[in-house]
Amino acid sequence: MKYQKLSDEELVDFLRSDNETAFEEIYNRYWYKLFGVAYHEIGTKEEAEELVHDLFESLWNRRQLSVIKHLSSYLVVSIKHLSTNYIKSQITQRKYQEYLILSQIQQSYSTDETVHFTDLSKAVEEAMKKLPEKSCEIFKLSRFENQSVKDIANKMNLSEKAVEYHLTKTLKVLKEQLRAYHTNN
């Protein structure tokens, strides 16, 4: 049987019957399209590939439970949903990293106040000097001038995802550079 000539509806019927060849045809037919959608949403190749893999794994695992009337639409909506959830998790992770950094700064300040705060300020300045100029500028606009990601993106002619990327990378560098200022009190 030539699975390439089957309609999506026929492939879904075969898929429900545990037909691995039908699954492979769905995978071959839609992988690149789904990767393109995920890559457009996420902006990184590895994460986009991982999300597409997760979608196909879910499709196989839920093959007998899913009611799929329009396979193409179902897959595209599913990958968009997975992409949105991924972006939300990244934002949450970045906010948690910010909280940890601010917590470390506050702990350092309350311990030996002025002396440590001065040292910490110098350490932050030194860490900022190690960052690429664009990342440093984005971080300053976000944290010191309280500008939103959208405003920064518009001001610097970047996508919001690019701004998020710079902020996440900057926070990782600062966290690493300020590790010596973390107290276990």
Give the pair of three-digit tokens for residue 57. Answer: 């794994």
- Per-residue confidence at 53, pLDDT binned at 50, 70, 90? very high
pLDDT tens string 71-90: 999 999 999 999 988 888 88
CATH for 114: 1.10.10.10
Q: Give the residue numbers spanning the domain of 24.
A: 3-69
pLDDT of residue 171: 84
pLDDT at 66 over 70: yes
Decide if 86 is inside a domain: no
Mean local confidence (pLDDT), 133-140? 86
pLDDT at 123 over 80: no
Same domain, 133 and 171: yes
In angstroms, the Cα distances linking 122 to 116, 164, 179 are: 10, 25, 14
Decide if 97 is inside a domain: yes
Give the pair of three-digit tokens for residue 50. Answer: 């991982």
Decide if 85 is inside a domain: no
Evaluate whether 152 touches 163 at the Cβ level (below 8 Å).
yes
Decide if 76 is inside a domain: no
Same domain, 117 and 169: yes
Q: What is the pTM of this model?
A: 0.52
- Maximum separation of any 2 CA atoms in the chain, in Å: 78
Evaluate whether 12 touches 71 at the Cβ level (below 8 Å).
yes
Number of domains in the chain: 2
Same domain, 30 and 102: no
Report the distance separating Cα 134 and Cα 23, nearest Å: 45
Decide if 78 is inside a domain: no
Give the pair of three-digit tokens for residue 165. Answer: 């990327």
Same domain, 58 and 139: no
Q: How far is CA 140 from the centre of its chain?
A: 22
Same domain, 63 and 105: no
Of 114 and 167, the one with more pLDDT? 167
Report the distance separating Cα 129 and Cα 123, nearest Å: 10
